[in-house]
Amino acid sequence: MGLIDQVKFDDKGLVTAIAQDAGTGEVLMVAYMNRGTLAETLETGTMVYFSRSRQKRWMKGETSGHTQAVREAYIDCDGDALLFKIDQTGGACHKGYISCFFRKRDGDEWQTVGARIPD
């Protein structure tokens, strides 16, 4: 049985996809995939997601050049989440940070702790 057949897509046909830097272990972003974008990712080795806001396929880095090359793919025990260890070119975050998780709670405040994409 292939990976796609083991995935439990939600009622909208999506599954959560976590992108983790293969070298550092840092979680870079969380997005969604449908059956087609998962198949394309596995076939090409480049991360392709499904945009919930735009309701269409998007390849990470298609316009920014900040691509994600797949090194390893994992599925969780329930089959409803995927983890991809990737090689990130540029930053993962559209706000100019290496990781989308660039803010940390400090008491009642959120502090910026993440690194920005180098110029």
Q: Domain tally for the chain?
A: 1
Task: Give domain status of residue 42, yes or no.
Answer: yes
Task: Give domain status of residue 40, yes or no.
Answer: yes
Give per-residue pLDDT as tens, 96-116.
999 999 999 999 999 999 889
Task: Give domain status of residue 60, yes or no.
Answer: yes
Give per-residue pLDDT as tens, 49-67.
999 999 999 999 898 999 9
pTM value?
A: 0.93
Task: Give domain status of residue 118, yes or no.
Answer: no
CATH code of the domain containing 44: 3.10.20.810
Task: Supply angle C-alpha 94, 99, 75, rounded to 5.
Answer: 105
Task: Give domain status of residue 101, yes or no.
Answer: yes
* Domain ranges, residue 104: 3-112
- Pinpoint the alpha helices (H) of the chain: 3-6, 35-44
Share of the chain above pLDDT 90, in %: 88
